[in-house]
Amino acid sequence: MNLKIKVWRQKNAKAKGGFETYDIKDVSPDSSFLEMLDILNEQLINEGKEPVAFDHDCREGICGMCSLFINGRAHGPDDDVTTCQLHMRKFKDGETVTIEPWRSGAFPVIKDLVVDRNAFEKIMHSGGFVSVNTGGVPDGNAILIPKEDADEAMDAAACIGCGACVATCKNSSAMLFVAAKVSQFAKLPQGKPEAARRARNMVAKMDELGFGGCTNTGACEAECPKGISISHIARLNREYLKAKIKE
């Protein structure tokens, strides 16, 4: 495959960025998207140019680092995949592929396609954990939890914090991320003692960091690589309301 790669280049957070276009040839349709970027960077290095900075780590769809906006979609033109799981067969020979970083005030650009997602870490530090003493590791059947609750908690815990929900939302809302992290504890007994404080603190931190409000358009769910349901946002709203009533 021969492609034109239109990629966002930005020296640092304060510099003015812009698109640059590169031609890349003989890319295998079976290459992953990040492998294609590796090939592009090798080409740029051989030409004496600076390679494109982009995030990656596991390349297995687990870590959420490979967050790119590709041809107008978070993680590119495929469903339920991260960027590293996207393959070049999803594109056509001769196509122009436009690559951008996440666009959100809460995710400032560090360089090129790399953004600072520390905001998610700060939200987690504000309440996305269990701090009560739960003792040693119990037998798997010692704490009786309905299977439906356990399944729903695990579905919420599948969120990898990539930020696709924020990048896709017209308001740059982090509600789906926060909802998933609240919901994974709300359905389990270990999360009950701190439930009110967790919901209150995480929502407050989300607002403080400049994320927008949720208007329930559902774009976040549509582009989430792990298929996190917006039903978790409803649970977050209920948890937050209960917390405010108790307060």
Reported as a single tens digit per residue, the pLDDT across 220-235 is: 999 999 999 999 999 9
pTM above 0.85, yes or no: yes
36 and 59, same domain (yes or no): yes
pLDDT tens per residue, range 29-44: 999 999 999 999 999 9
Domain termination site, one of 82, 110, 138: 110
Report whether 169 contacts 202 (CB < 8 A): no
User: 51 and 138, same structural domain?
Assistant: no
On whether both 83 and 131 belong to a single domain, the answer is: no
The residue segments making up the domain with residue 190 are 117-246
pLDDT score for 134: 67
Q: 110: closest CA among 53, 59, 66?
A: 53
Q: Tell me the CATH number at 7.
A: 3.10.20.30
Both 69 and 51 in one domain: the answer is yes
CA distances from 29 to 2, 3, 81 (A): 10, 11, 17
Question: Do residues 170 and 71 share a domain?
Answer: no
Query: Which has the closest alpha carbon to 36: 7, 79, 12?
Result: 7
Are 144 and 48 members of one domain?
Answer: no
Beta strand 109-111 with 114-115: parallel, antiparallel or unpaired? antiparallel
Query: Do 121 and 240 fall within a single domain?
Result: yes
On whether both 96 and 181 belong to a single domain, the answer is no
pLDDT at 140: 65
The residue among 55, 83, 110 that closes a domain is 110
Q: String of b and e for 133-163 (b: at least 16 CB within 10 Å)?
A: eeeeeeeeeeeeeeeeeeebbebbbebbbbb
97 phi, psi to nearest 5 deg:
-105, 120
Which of 60, 77, 110 is the C-terminal boundary of a domain?
Answer: 110
Quick check: 28 and 1 in contact, CB under 8 A? yes
Same domain, 82 and 34: yes
CATH number for the domain spanning 236: value is: 1.10.1060.10
My answer on whether 157 and 193 are in the same domain is: yes
Q: Which residues of the chain have pLDDT under 50?
A: none
